[in-house]
Amino acid sequence: MNTTRVGSLLGLAAIAGLVGYLAEALLVRLGQPQFIPPITLGVALEFIGVIIPAMAWPIRKLTRAGDDAPKPAGVDPFYATRVLLLAKAGALTGAVLVGVALGIVIFVATRVVLAATPLTFTLITVIGGVTLSVGGVLAERWCQIPPVDGDGGAAEADPA
């Protein structure tokens, strides 16, 4: 599995932002109520964005043990795989939710009458999505095993 690139996350957020803006404009144009994410969404995203790196921390400690430290028995590969997949899913989901929420923020901010509550709730969702994306990318990096050369030591990373 390839690592998640920040550029692809930004592109995904940009596309989702356009979709979020157009969906809000379509809802208002059709006379429907505007979608405002609940505050619990942003809080839940922030919570999950903190939990994912916390789950990856034991894997990081085991894979980054120094030469002087006693070597542990090893990493449970099933646990590491689950955390890695959760981290990748969190990064992608966070990017989509950041994009949609930013699209809603732009739509709300460009209205003639600015309502503070929808703007506040949506900004909390943006912060939660950023936390989830950053936490997912960080946990994904922590789940990588450093390359090992033939002598048993950590090899230098390839520049290519």
pLDDT of 159 > 60? The answer is no
Average pLDDT for 86-92: 95
pLDDT tens digits for range 12-70: 999 999 999 999 999 999 999 989 999 999 999 999 999 999 999 988 888 776 655 55
Q: What is the mean pLDDT of the chain?
A: 86
Distance of alpha carbon 37 from alpha carbon 117, whole angstroms: 11
pLDDT of 152 > 60? The answer is no
Residue 70 is predicted with a pLDDT of 56
Residue 104 is predicted with a pLDDT of 94
Residue 112 is predicted with a pLDDT of 84
Is the Cβ–Cβ distance between 142 and 91 less than 8 Å?
no
Distance of alpha carbon 140 from alpha carbon 55, whole angstroms: 11
Is the Cβ–Cβ distance between 15 and 99 less than 8 Å?
yes
Q: Which pTM does this prediction carry?
A: 0.82
Residue 91 is predicted with a pLDDT of 95
pLDDT of 9 > 90? The answer is yes
pLDDT of 114 > 90? The answer is no
Distance of alpha carbon 145 from alpha carbon 142, whole angstroms: 8
Residue 66 is predicted with a pLDDT of 61
* Rounded-to-10 torsion of CA 98, 101, 103, 108: -150
Residue 160 is predicted with a pLDDT of 45
Average pLDDT for 146-159: 53
